[in-house]
A and B are shown apart, each in its own frame.
Chain A
Amino acid sequence: MIDLSIIRLKGVSKKYPPDNLALRGLDMDVRKGEFVFLTGASGSGKSTLLKLLYCAERPTSGQIIVDGLDLSTLSPSQIPFLRRKVSVIFQDFKLLSSKTVFENVSISLEVLGLKRTQIEKRVRQVLEGVGLSGKLGHTPLELSGGEQQRVAIARAVVNRPPIILADEPTGNLDSDRTDEVLLLMEELNARGATIIFATHDERLYKNTHRRVFRLSDGRIEVTGP
């Protein structure tokens, strides 16, 4: 059988000191180009699992492989290169309020050392894609919550990462905005990105044909095809 998984966890446990066992021996596989939901009650470990995938936390035990990189042996100097493959969208946006929308998004390309003209072109393109071409020079504080979230999404996708992790990206949005964000993620997935969408909004995955991973008591169970 050909191994198509782009993310693979084997027996992954995470213990926060002193002895909060957030994840207990998880096994999980996500295939290249797949769109999966990650759900579970508050405190069940969704954010923790995602943090392990972009190396903001290290597992206590177990093996994690992301796009061919073994995270248990990844050196700190390699983390930036993992992060260029794995983009994260946060519930609290994590935008810089002192910078403009354009600057917030262009950060992702600046770290790659792209040329100014190239950055300009791609940022404009992406911001147009999320319907924010009119707000380039605004600062995040001048935007609505939904607009801010779309800036955060634009920042996460402008460098065309193969993997996108969304940690409750709709947690602060009303249902119309939520649907917009979901649609955006579907589009990105259609263009080839692998997506893990963490949410406790049951409405989003109730009628889905996609796999849903559910965390509870530090263990994971999967439903769907």
Chain B
Amino acid sequence: MTLPSLLKRALADLWNDLGTHMLTTVVIFLSALIFSFFSLIYFNLQNFVEHFGTELGLVIYLNKATPQDRIPALYQKLAGLEGVQAVVYISPDAAFKRLASYLKDEKDVLKGVDPKFLPPSFELRINRAVFHLDRLKRLAEKINRWPEVTKVQYGQEWLNKLKRFSVLLRAVVLISGLLLVLSSAFVVSNTIKLTVYAREQEMEILRLVGATNGFIQGPFLIEAFFQGLLGSGLALAFLYAGYRYVETLMGASCLLKGVNISFLPWTFIGIILFGSIFLCVSGTALAMRRFLRL
């Protein structure tokens, strides 16, 4: 009994009963597709939240009377604070230019206005701010007590919402992901049972003419391996095609142009492939146990 001979028998079996085997593959395909689709959405939302979170920060408006030579000292002080990733100084001139560029064609309204009418400010980028909102809040309060500071701004309400949403999202995804895995495992194992039971007579005869358990089981396990691989591989390919399509659609739309989406990470792809194969092979081995009298 060699691997090539087992492979040959497995292929012959697949070919002889294409219908039943296709059923199993389709069931695995659909389960894997639903699961990976769901995961893709989860990963992208997670990415989005994280990305957004890292870009969040504080804007610190200084008193207009703050002397220019205080700026470097303040800069150092801010940069030294815990969790601060980057500090950018926006001078009144720079703020004015920025405002002008926002206004574009209507920048005439600024004619005659003193370019120094805006207060100088600092922009702080905080490390993974969204996950440490309390820290952000404490930081803001602390800075607000400094004599040079007139106002500290951050989108607290918005941030709180985002945080609650991401916690909720995680819970929903984990629970429904678990249910999804359980239900597809149930469906797949029952489909596999059907394919195994359909060949009960063949297994009985093989046993009667002196086949070893390995001889009987080998082709079944190889078939299961291929079904798991094919079903989940096709599902991932399908999902990838859909992903690319959405990507081009988003590229064409100006509204979503800036939003980045990404495909499932490689490790996760590996987990889906391996999980499907494992499910098929172990399901088959389990279903066959009663026919083999080990």
Query: What DSSP secondary structure best describes chain B's contact surface?
Result: helix
Encode A143-166 as 1/0 by CB contact (under 8 A) with B.
Answer: 000000000000100010000000
Q: Closest residue to A156 on the B side, CB-wise?
A: B209
Q: Is A88 an interface residue (CB 8 A)?
A: yes
A113 touches B211 (CB 8 A): no
Q: Are A76 and B293 in contact (CB under 8 A)?
A: yes
B210-A83 in contact (CB<8A): yes
Known: A76-B293, A96-B201, A111-B215. A83 touches B5 (CB 8 A): no
Chain A, Cβ-Cβ closest to B293? A76
B176 within 8 A of A: no
A contact residues around B204 at 8 Å (CB): 94
Interface size on A, residues (CB 8 A): 22
Closest to A158 in B: B209
Tell me the residues in window 85-115 of chain A with beta carbons closer than 8 Å to chain B beta carbons.
87-88, 94, 96, 98, 107-108, 110-113
Contact residue among A56, A83, A113 (Cβ-Cβ distance under 8 Å from B209): A83
> Considering the chains assembled together, what is the distance between the CA atoms of A92 and B66 in angstroms?
104
A129 interfacial contact with B, CB 8 Å: no
CA distance A56 to B204 in the complex (A): 11
B294 located at the interface, meaning its Cβ lies under 8 Å from any Cβ of chain A in the complex: yes
Say if the beta carbon of B271 comes within 8 Å of chain A: no
A137 within 8 A of B: no
Q: Give the one of B205, B212, B293 with max A CB within 10 A.
A: B205
Nearest-neighbour CB distance to chain B for A174, whole angstroms, equals: 26
Interface string of B251-294 (1 = CB under 8 A from A): 00000000000000000000000000000000000000000011
Complex interface: chain A residues within 8 A of B206 (CB): 107, 111
Contact of B65 with A by CB under 8 A: no
Q: Is B141 at the interface (CB under 8 A from chain A)?
A: no
Q: Which secondary structure characterizes the binding site on chain A?
A: mixed
- Whether B208 and A83, one on each chain, are in contact in the complex, defined by CB atoms closer than 8 angstroms, is yes
Is the CB–CB distance between A94 and B294 below 8 Å? Answer: no
The residue on B at minimum CB distance from A84 is B210
B202 within 8 A of A: yes
Residue contact B202 to A96, C-beta cutoff 8 Å: yes
The answer to whether the Cβ of A43 comes within 8 Å of any Cβ in the partner chain is no
Indicate if B16 sits at the interface (CB-CB under 8 A). Answer: yes
- Contact of B1 with A by CB under 8 A: yes
Residues of B contacting A56 in the complex (Cβ-Cβ under 8 angstroms): 208
Within the complex, what minimum Cβ distance (angstroms) separates B205 from chain A? 6
Q: Which 7 residue pairs of A and B lie closest in terms of their CB atoms, listed nearest first?
A: A83-B210, A84-B210, A111-B211, A80-B210, A108-B209, A80-B212, A111-B210
Could you list 20 examples of A-B contacts with CB < 8 Å? A54-B208, A56-B208, A76-B293, A80-B211, A80-B213, A83-B207, A83-B209, A84-B209, A94-B208, A96-B201, A107-B206, A107-B209, A108-B210, A111-B206, A111-B209, A111-B210, A111-B211, A111-B215, A113-B1, A159-B209
